[in-house]
Structure formats: C-alpha cells, structure tokens
Structure 1
C-alpha cells in the first residue's frame, strides 16, 4: 500500500461518510489474521499502517521474562536490554517482523476490508433512511413475484409487498407503478428489509395528506380512520380554522381530491365525516350517508343506541353490516341501530308494572273474608 491508498481512503470518507480511521483500524485487524494465516505464526503481533505514507509494518509483541519458555511470545531480560536498557520484567517488547512480500497480502486484505465496510455502511445508511420513513407512503415499480410476495423496487432497496397486504382482486404485472405504505423496516444479513402494505388504514391517511394541502399544513386534521380495504372506508376530520370546512377540503372542487384517492385505491368507496367531541353528534355523523333520528349514549358500557327512519335502516346498517361496522371502528362506540317503527313497537310492548297492594289492604281483605 502507498500514499495513493491513503488518499483513496480520504476520498471515501468524504463521499461515503465512512471514517478513514475506522477503515484503517479494520484493515490492521484483518492483516493480523492474514499474517498468522499466511505465515503460520502463533506470535502475538501488531500491524501498523502509517497514516501518511500507507507503509505497512508488522511487529511481534513479546513479554520480558527471567526464563523464556515460549520464544514466540517471550524474550529474556538480557535480550531485551540489548534493544533498550529501559526494559524491565513484564514489559512488552515490539520487534519488527514484516515479511518481504507482505505488501501483496496487505493490498488484497485492504481491498476486501474496504469493500465489505463500504457495503455495510451503505446498508446502514439505507436502513436509517427507511426506518425513519416507517408509516409513510412510497412509490415503487414491481420487479417480480414469488408465491407469497411482490418485490417492489424503491430505488436503493427492494421492498416486499405480501399478497395478504394487497386489496381483494388486486394483481400487479412487471413494471407496474405502485403506491404502498411502509409497515416496518428490519435489518437482515442481506441488508435492510422493507415491508409495505396496500391494505393498512395508514395508506388512506397518508394519501389524504398528500392530496389535501390543508391536512399537510395542519389546518385540517384526520382524527380517525376505519377501513375495509378495497371495499369501503371512513375518515373523521376536524378543522382548526372555523372558516375552513374540513369535509369540503377533503372532497375538493367537484370531488377531485377524493376521486384521485379513490382511483389510487381501485374504486374503494370513501365516506368523509365531520369529527365532533360530542359523541351523540359524532356517532350520528359516522353513519353517513344515512340520516339519524336520535342517538342515546350509555357512557359506562360505551354503547350508542341509534334510531333511524324506517327507509334508512338498510342504508345505516350497510351491506352485510359494513356501514355500521365501520362507524363503530371510527368512533370507538358499539352502535346498536333500530328503525323508528322498531323503537315504537318496543316502547308499546314494554310491560306495565302491576301495582303491589299495601299491607293494610291485605289485612282488610282478610278481615272481610272472615
């Protein structure tokens, strides 16, 4: 190795952010193993690389003892004194043992170590980049598929989209562009592994943040999301500015904003409702598009008794109970829906409590019987 090698390490430090000192220390450690392996040496050695010239030197480290039992690891006090009178028992003496052709081994080892460290550093940088992007939306290109996953090229890393995280009936071909939600990032022996989803409720939330400037600016806030991917979703929104209608902002002019998201989610229906602190109003809003006559709240049981017009009952419940189910997820309340006629019939059938006769009346009737 030479000064050009040191300059190359300086350049790597600037371009890749890998410390030159860390690289040199790693090369020195690797050269110790290389020396022992190639020269069949059991000596305790130290390798030193000159930080300016790149010159590599190998030193055998021996302990000063009275009687030498292992000449590979020990040196007598007399022999040590010939090197320097300052050495005492127990001191470590370093003797240069650099082989004549060690430069070739050093160059090969250095190349391997640097290549490995560059790969590790790049993997670490990519991991840090994507672990910070967990719960974010990314756009990638479908490269291939196996029997369980799509492999999505994100540029610097390949993400896994499990088939179970795709929407019903959704199929992708090679080179299809896909938006997906990063669910987790893991370290592996092959580098960072990114997992993405098309069914996660977070995807819907992030798509609205990308499409609606008022959400990105913090004027409109998404309070909760309920989603049955590929079929129907509900989001509850509120506004920090009384002059901004949160529902209108999300729908957009002529529905353009929400339609863009619907198209991205392959026709998934999206209900946008106004969030409210009052659970009665919030539950009522959550059952949109149906109309609600009344809502009675049972705080302790977290149950909402909802009455809707007869002709709105099927709309309120939804196909296979979907609308009611999503409303319950959105609000966090268990919702019991009845039609107005069911409620009236229930009220009419409520049993009338019989009047319990007083004790005195019982006694009087007994006396009369006598």
Structure 2
C-alpha cells in the first residue's frame, strides 16, 4: 500500500496539478477518520505519513495537566516527566498507537474520503485559475443547451451562458467554438460555477484588444463603450501619440481589424468615434454617422441640445432611437436632438425672429 500511495500522489500531482502536500494532508485526514471509526477512539490523535517512504503512523495526543480529569485526553505532569523531564503543564505528549492491521483497514475505508478530498483540491485549483480571469475572454466548445442555458466546455470544467447573457438571434450549436467574457466565478458545493456573457461590453473591449496592437501597447486608449448586443455598439478611442490615428488603428487596413470583431459578434455594427475632451465636439461625434450643425451645452444639468440638418434627423435619432440612445450612453450626456426647422420655430417663439447666424 505504501508504494501505491506514493505513486498515486505523484501521478495526481503531475496530471491534475494538485500539490503533493495537499494530497498528503487529505490522506492523513482520511486515515485519521478511518482510525477513529474502526477503533472507536475518543482520544486526540494524529496520523503522519512519511513523504519519502510512504510509512504512516498514528500518535495519541494527551495534554500535560496538574490534575487529570480525563485520562484519554490528559496526562499528569508527574507521568509526563517520567517520559521526559522537560515536559511542563500545557505541553502535548505523543505516543505511537498504530494498530497492527491498520494498513488493511485504512486501505478499505480511506479511499472514498481521499477521492473526495482530491476532488475538492482539484475544484479549488480550477476556482483559483478562473477567479483570476474574471473580466477576461475565454474560448470554449458548446457542449449542450439545457433549459435555454448554454453549457460551454473549457477543458477541465464548463461555463454557463444564461439566457440573459445571450445575444439576440444568435444560435448556439453543440460542437461550435465560441468566445465569451467571464463575468463571475462562484464557489458552490458542486465545484466552481463560471458565468460567462456574450452581451457584456467587456467582451467587445477584449476582442478589440486582441485585434488592435495599439490598444494592447497602450498607445490607443478605449475611453468609453456603449453596446446594445447583437445590434450596434459605439466605442470612443483616444491616442496618446499624435502621430497615431486612434480610429484608423481600430478600423485597420481595409477595415480588417474591426471586421474581425464584427464577425466574432455575428454582424453587430460598431461605430468607432474619436474621443474629445470638449463635450460639444464629443457629443457631435457620438451621433455619427449623422452630420451635426451645432451643439448647445448645459454643463450643470449635463444636457446637450444637438442641431442637425432636416434630412439628418432620422439618421441622428436612429431606428427606434438607437443611435441617440447609444450616443447618450457613450458620452454620459442627456442628448436632445432637434432639426434646423424645429430650431427655427423654437427661436421664433423665444426671440420673435429667426436668424441663421443663431445656429
């Protein structure tokens, strides 16, 4: 049994990546449990396994006291000093009590506990690995779809893509490779639960970083993201180097970089906008592709009134208000869009006249 224990521990350490010390501690706890169960021992005890030979021994433990109340747990100072005159009150006296047939009993009874401890250690290792990757992209293979949840194999474990995190209209076929964003990793009694998303803005951010070297290097900075997953997104980018165009860097030669991200997101449209510290210019750019005539800013209320040509009004607002809604999310400003003709009426009512120079 001794040789088998050592061999099994070394193999598990190599194959599962679980430290040998963790496995030895699990086995010691299992053997102690087996000892107490089979020998009905109410005394304090511990099991020690030699890391080199695989030999194991059981030691009883009794605390040194002035007056013994329970001889199974305590030993008098007088008796302790017969063993070693250096003992004093409060010390623990150990004595080997390994039963003759303990090896056979341990082999029969400890297996289940050891396997459970090994499983727990493996789960902890997986948890630590993926907990450190929260906020990152992970690639997996779709295993199955069950009650609208999509289960994705990540190798040693699986991730769950819940309906709330799935992109509208996206099909999830078993066997298909998929990139997702790790939102949260939870500890559960059944092991780590990894929750992933296809709708999180972080997925778009990470995909862009994979495709755009300037983002990875920090030359170009992603200032803001507004996303309506599966339909359209807007990103605001800024360059720390005046010789690097942030929009061009993200779009790439012939649009290759941004197209790779669009393809990964199944055709989701992405507007790339140059960030500007001037809120009026940033708000105007955020309504791209619509052309803007002027922007009026109310700083305290964080409201921006945007004036656009009559033929650009529907484009600025977007289908079901999507363009305006994304622009507001991107900039953090409440945006009120008016056409030039609407502004003529407003100025006429406010001032009694309209002058094109007012715009």
Q: Which residue of 1 aligns with 2:202?
A: 202
| Distance in 2 (alpha carbons) for counterparts of 1:68 and 1:143 | 63
Name the CA shift for 1:24/1:191 in 2 (closer, same or farther; >3 Å): same
**Counterpart in 2 of 1:340?**
340
Q: In structure 2, list runs of 5 or more residues that go unmatched.
A: 353-359
Secondary structure of the 1:255 match is: helix
Could you say what secondary structure the match of 1:326 adopts? helix
TM-score normalised by L of structure 1: 0.83
Q: State the SS of the aligned residue for 1:160.
A: strand
Question: Distance in 2 between the 1:252 and 1:271 partners?
Answer: 13
Secondary structure, aligned partner of 1:236 = strand
Relative to 1, partners in 2 of residues 1:172 and 1:24: Cα closer, same or farther, differing over 3 Å? Answer: closer
Cα shift at 1:23: 4.1
- Give, in whole Å, the separation in 1 of the partners of 2:201 and 2:217: 21
Question: Against the structure 1 CA distance between its residues 345 and 6, is the aligned structure 2 distance closer, same or farther, given a 3 Å change threshold?
Answer: same
Q: Please tell me whether residue 182 in structure 1 is matched to residue 179 in structure 2.
A: no
- Whole-Å Cα distance in 1 between the matches of residues 339 and 117 of structure 2? 69
Aligned length: 351
Does 220-229 or 58-67 show the bigger shift? 58-67
Q: In structure 2, how many angstroms separate the alpha carbons of the residues matched to 1:276 and 1:62? A: 74
Q: Secondary structure of the equivalent of 1:100?
A: coil
Q: Quick check: 139-148 or 35-44, which moved more? A: 35-44
Distance change in 2, residues 1:271/1:23 (3 Å): closer
1:158 matched residue in structure 2: 158
Given the alignment of the two structures, is residue 266 of structure 1 paired with residue 282 of structure 2, yes or no? no
Match for residue 323 of structure 2? 323
The separation in 2 between residues aligned to 1:66 and 1:24, in whole angstroms, is 36
Of structures 1 and 2, the larger Rg is shown by 1
Q: Deviations over 1:211-267 (max 9, x none)?
A: 122222222111101111111111111111112111112122222222222222122
**What's the CA shift string for 1:44-95, capped at 9, x where partnerless?**
43434344443333344456789988665567899x4997484989676555
Q: TM-score, normalised by structure 2?
A: 0.86
* 1:357 match: none
Conserved in 2, the CA contact under 8 Å of 1:182 and 1:195? yes
- The CA distance in 2 between the partners of 1:311 and 1:282, in whole Å, is 21
Q: For residues 1-370 of structure 1, what are the structure 2 equivalents within 5 Å?
A: 1-2=1-2, 5-6=5-6, 9=9, 18-61=18-61, 72-73=72-73, 80=79, 84=83, 86=85, 94-108=94-108, 111-112=111-112, 114-350=114-350
CA distance in 2, matches of 1:307, 1:206: 34
Closer/same/farther in 2, CA of residues 169 and 46 from structure 1, 3 Å limit: closer
Contact 1:3–1:52 (8 Å) recurs in 2: no
| C-alpha contact (below 8 Å) 1:151/1:160 kept by paired residues | yes
Q: Following TM superposition, by how much is the alpha carbon of 1:115 offset from its aligned partner in structure 2, in angstroms?
A: 3.5
When the two chains are superposed, the root-mean-square deviation of aligned CA atoms in Å is 3.0
Q: Is the contact made by 1:16 and 1:118 (CA closer than 8 Å) also made in structure 2?
A: no
**Contact 1:56/1:106, CA 8 A, preserved across alignment:** no
2:355 matched residue in structure 1? none
Q: CA–CA distance in 2 between the matches of 1:76 and 1:245?
A: 83
Question: For 1:120 and 1:249, how far apart are their aligned partners in 2?
Answer: 46
